[in-house]
A = this chain, B = another copy of it.
Amino acid sequence: MPQFPSSVVIREVGLRDGLQSIQSILATQRKMDWIRDAYAAGQREIEVGSFVPARLLPQLADTAELVAYAKTLPGLMVSVLVPNLKGAERAIDAEADLLLVPLSASHAHSVANLRKTPDEVIAEVARIRAARDAAGSRTLIEGGIGTAFGCTLQGRVEPAEVLRCMQALLDAGADRVSIADTVGYAGPAAVRELFEQARKLAGEKFWCGHFHDTRGLALANVYAALETGVARFDATLAGIGGCPHAPGASGNASSEDLAFMLSSMNIPTGIDIPRLLTLRAKVAGWLAGETLHGTLWLAGLPKTFINSSTAATAA
């Protein structure tokens, strides 16, 4: 049997990757309720929003407020996404625990979506690192490499280019690096191969895997990544979010299904799944009319399920 990690963190990114992809705008109070309940269910890392101009993503305009609220919850690691130095400065001011800078390994996708080449993003990360250090801030910097398994514009993305970007991000001062299958092109064999190489390159700085379920492979891909020892995965409650290129297609890995898979493997996540399912029902009510995903909420937990979470006492 492979060596699986002794525990796994599911980083909840529904409030960012999920909410930015759907029409509904959730009120700030409801987002706070979501964060509070996710925390009570045992989640200890949450990406609460994105420091982008409000005119681009009005859904996420309240990110500073959410960071401030989330930081009142003891032991919660509060992340935000930032597209550039300006966003990073806001994250540093807000004292976010971690800021994630997205980089697209696909040159075509990078220019089309970020309006920068990968190397320009890497140069921006170096400026962010300098700003962080100058501010005496403890905010961690994560470089998240997207379209790592291909993209809808240029098609194939070479693993060597992903690894080159990863090394360059580390050289530029990123504290953490991650890999994302932004458009749901990855299969488990490719994941295993790339993640093994990434672990060799970045060691413990290789931080997180982010899989979309666009073609149903998110959990198989997580499983393949687990076999390489990676112990942190992004996911969204009810699998919200997803692929703008495939309307109606499945979104992110669903947090509750992923928690169930890990529970079935006896890998602790700290998550109380019944509580997370209760939160899912609440969020589903708030997002009425949106396409939600995941399967566990409908089938229910198996009779053999043992709730090993200590969240009830920890929260």
> Which residues from B are CB-within-8-Å of A220?
219-220, 222-223, 261
Contacts of A184 in B (CB 8 A): 299, 302
Contacts A217-B219, A217-B264, A248-B298: A150 and B192 contacting too (C-beta < 8 A)? no
* B223 lies within 8 A of A298 (CB): no
> What residues of chain B lie closer than 8 Å to A30, measured between beta carbons?
none
Instruction: Please tell me how many copies of the chain the complex holds.
Output: 2
A314 partner residues in chain B, CB cutoff 8 A: none
Q: List 12 A-B contacts (CB under 8 A).
A: A187-B261, A187-B265, A188-B261, A189-B265, A190-B264, A216-B257, A216-B260, A220-B222, A223-B223, A243-B299, A246-B298, A250-B299
Whether A302 pairs with B260 at a CB distance below 8 angstroms is no
Closest B residue by C-beta to A295? B216
B155 and A189 form a contact (CB under 8 A):
no
- List the B side residues contacting A246 at CB < 8 Å: 298-300
A178-190 CB contact bits vs B (8 Å, 1 = yes)? 0000011111111
Q: Is residue A115 within 8 Å, beta carbon to beta carbon, of the partner chain?
A: no
In whole angstroms, how far apart are the Cα atoms of A265 and B149 in the complex? 13
| Tally of chain A residues near chain B (CB < 8 A) | 50
Set of chain B residues within 8 Å of A298, measured between Cβ atoms? 246, 248-250
Q: Is the CB of B299 within 8 A of A186?
A: no
Cβ-based interface call for A215 (8 A)? yes
Which 5 A-B residue pairs are closest in the complex by CB-CB distance? A187-B264, A216-B295, A189-B265, A249-B299, A246-B299
Cβ–Cβ contact A215 & B299, under 8 A = yes
Contact B264 A295 (CB under 8 A): no
Cβ–Cβ contact A152 & B295, under 8 A? no
Check if A213 is an interface residue, CB within 8 A of chain B.
Answer: yes
Instruction: Decide if A200 is an interface residue (CB 8 Å cutoff).
Output: no
Enumerate chain A interface residues (CB-CB to B < 8 A).
1, 4, 150-152, 155-156, 183-190, 192-193, 196, 213-217, 219-220, 222-224, 243, 246, 248-250, 254, 257, 260-261, 263-266, 294-296, 298-300, 302-304
Contacts known (A222-B220, A295-B215); A303 close to B188, Cβ less than 8 A: no
Contact in complex: A215, B257 (CB < 8 Å): yes
- Does A264 lie within 8 Å of B186, measured CB to CB? yes
Given A1-B196, A184-B302, A219-B220, 11 new contacts (CB under 8 A): A1-B189, A155-B304, A185-B302, A187-B263, A188-B223, A188-B264, A190-B265, A215-B260, A215-B299, A217-B257, A217-B261
Q: Which of chain B's residues have a CB closer than 8 A to the CB of A190? A: 264-265
Residues from chain B with a CB closer than 8 A to the CB of A192 are: 1
Q: Tell me whether B189 and A4 are in contact (CB under 8 A).
A: yes
Q: Is the CB of A254 within 8 A of B216?
A: yes
Instruction: Kindly state the separation between the CA atoms of A269 and B103 in the bound complex, as whole angstroms.
Output: 35
Q: Return A223 CB to nearest CB of chain B, in Å.
A: 5
